[in-house]
Structure 1
C-alpha cells in the first residue's frame, strides 16, 4: 500500500517572505519618520515662557489674556503696536493680563527671497529662550527699525544687534543665524486663527480672553474700548 506523500514546509521561502516584510516595515518606518520630521515643528523653543503647542511667548502673569499674532514685516502690526502697545504693557505691569505674543510669518513673499518674516520671528524665539524678560524691549525695537515691505528686510547681524541691545546675551547670535526655530515658526503660523466672518488669516490678529477680534470692525484704534472694555466685560 503506497504511503501518502508528506507535505514538507518550505522554510526557505517563508524566511525570504518574512525578511521582505521586515524590510518593507523598516523602509516604511524610515519614510514615515522622514516625512514627519519634514512636516513637524523642528526644534522647540524650550522655555517656560513659550507655549510650544500654540507658539505664544508669555509676557506677564495676569489671569486674563490678550493674544497678538504679528508679523514683523507687517506695517499694520507696527501701527497696532503704536496705538495699543502702551495700554497692553500697562495691563501687564499691573497684573491684569498675560500678553501672549505669537510671532508668525505670512509676508516672506514681501522680502525679496530673504524670508525676513520667518527670520525675524525666529529671532524673537531666540530672545525668549535666552531670557523672555527681554521680549518687550526686543519687540519695540523691531518695530522702531521695521523695514518696508518688498525690501530684503534686516540682515541677521542687525537682528542680533537689536536682540543684544534689548538685553539678550551673545548666545542669540548663532540661534538667529542658524534659523534654529524657523520650522517652528512655520508650524505655528498655520495655527493662526482666521478672522471672524471667514476672512482668512491676517496680521495683526488679536484675541481677548480667547475671543478673536475682527480687524475691520473691532479694532478702532481706541485701546480702552477695544481691549480694556472687553477684558472688563
Structure 2
C-alpha cells in the first residue's frame, strides 16, 4: 500500500538520525566481530578449527616477502592530498621495509591535517565517504585542510579467500606511485563500486578496469604493478603498523574497546562523533583548528 503526499514520511531529522544509528551499528558490529574473532582464537573452541584458523592467519601474515618496496608519495603510509584538484604532495618511496614517516602538522597553521584510516571493503568507511567526501574536497581545495588517506587491509579475511582488501590497498599504492594526482578519483571509485563483505570482491583485472575509468597517467605501469602484486608486502606491513600503532593509539585516546575503520584524526585528535553528519564533523574540524591557532607561540615584539 503506497503512502500519499500527506502520509507518514519521515522528516529530514528522522532520516538523519536513522543514518547516524545505522552508521553507529556498522562500526560497533565491525569492532564486535574483531573482538569475537580474537576470543575465538584464544578460547580453545575445537583444536582442529583453531589449527585451521591459525594456519590461515599465519599464511596471511607471512606469505610473500616480509620486506617489499614502498610506494612513492606515501611516506607516512598514506597519501596527502592538498590544494586545487586534490593533487598529491609528492615524496620519495624510502627503503624497502622501512618504517613510515608520520606527517607533522605545522604548529599554528590555519591548514588542518585530516587523516583517515580506511578499508575499501568497510561499509562504515563508505558511509563516511558518502557523507563527507564533497565537504572534504571543498576544504582541501580551499586550502583549509590537507587530507591524508591511509588504505589498509583490515578486512582481508572477509572476501571469500581473495584478500580483496589487501589487493585494493596495494592497487591504490600503485596509483599513488604512478598517477598520484588521480588518487582521489580512484579512491571515490573504490567506494562507489564497493563489493559486499563475504563476496570475492573485484578480481585484479576488474580493479585495473575500475582504475582505468579514472583516466590515470601511466596506466600500463599501474596494470603491471597490480599484476605483479608489487605492493602486497607493503600493504600487509602498513596494515599491521596501523592496527598496532596509530589506530591502537587512537582507540585508547577515544576510549574505544577496539580498533576499527574508519579511524579519523584532525591534527592528531580523534573524531568520535557521527560519521554520517557532515555538520558535526565540520564543527569538530573548526574546533580543532581554533585550538591549534590559540596555542601558537606569540612572536616577541621587536626591541
TM-score interval for Structure 1 and Structure 2 normalised by the shorter chain: 0.7 to 0.9
Tell me the CA shift for residue 136 of structure 1. 0.8
Structure 1 segment 49-60 matched on structure 2, within 5 A: 49-51=73-75, 54-60=76-82
Match of 1:118 among 166, 179, 184: 166
In structure 2, the partner of 1:226 is 284
1:148-178: CA deviations, max 9, x gaps?
0000001111111111221222211111122
- What is the rounded CA distance, in whole Å, between the counterparts of 1:155 and 1:231 in structure 2? 41
Q: 1:75 and 2:123 equivalent?
A: yes
Tell me the CA shift for residue 131 of structure 1. 1.5
| Structure 2 residue matching 1:152: 3-state secondary structure | coil
Tell me the CA shift for residue 147 of structure 1. 0.2
In structure 2, the partner of 1:177 is 227
**If the length of structure 2 is used for normalisation, what is the TM-score?**
0.59
Q: 1:186 and 2:244 equivalent?
A: no
Match of 2:133 among 72, 78, 85: 85
- What is the rounded CA distance, in whole Å, between the counterparts of 2:127 and 2:284 in structure 1? 15
Match of 1:99 among 122, 141, 147: 147
In structure 1, the partner of 2:5 is none
Gaps of 5+ in 2: 1-61, 84-109, 292-303
Note the aligned Cα RMSD (angstroms). 2.0
In structure 2, the partner of 1:163 is 211
Q: 1:212 and 2:267 equivalent?
A: no
User: Taking structure 1 as reference, are residues 206 and 160 closer, same or farther at Cα in structure 2, changes over 3 Å only?
Assistant: same
**If the length of structure 1 is used for normalisation, what is the TM-score?**
0.76
Q: Conserved in 1, the CA contact under 8 Å of 2:132 and 2:276? A: no
Match of 1:43 among 69, 74, 98: 69
Q: Which has the larger radius of gyration?
A: 1
In structure 2, the partner of 1:8 is none
- What is the rounded CA distance, in whole Å, between the counterparts of 2:241 and 2:271 in structure 1? 16
User: Taking structure 1 as reference, are residues 226 and 64 closer, same or farther at Cα in structure 2, changes over 3 Å only?
Assistant: closer
In structure 2, the partner of 1:137 is 185
| Structure 1 residue matching 2:220: 3-state secondary structure | coil
In structure 1, the partner of 2:51 is none
1:22-65: CA deviations, max 9, x gaps?
xxxxxxxxxxxxx9x9544x11112xx311xx301111168420
- What is the rounded CA distance, in whole Å, between the counterparts of 1:105 and 1:221 in structure 2? 26
In structure 1, the partner of 2:300 is none
1:46-99: CA deviations, max 9, x gaps?
2xx311xx3011111684200000000001100000111111111110112111
Gaps of 5+ in 1: 1-34
1:178-231: CA deviations, max 9, x gaps?
2111111111112322222152220000010111223xx464623322334433
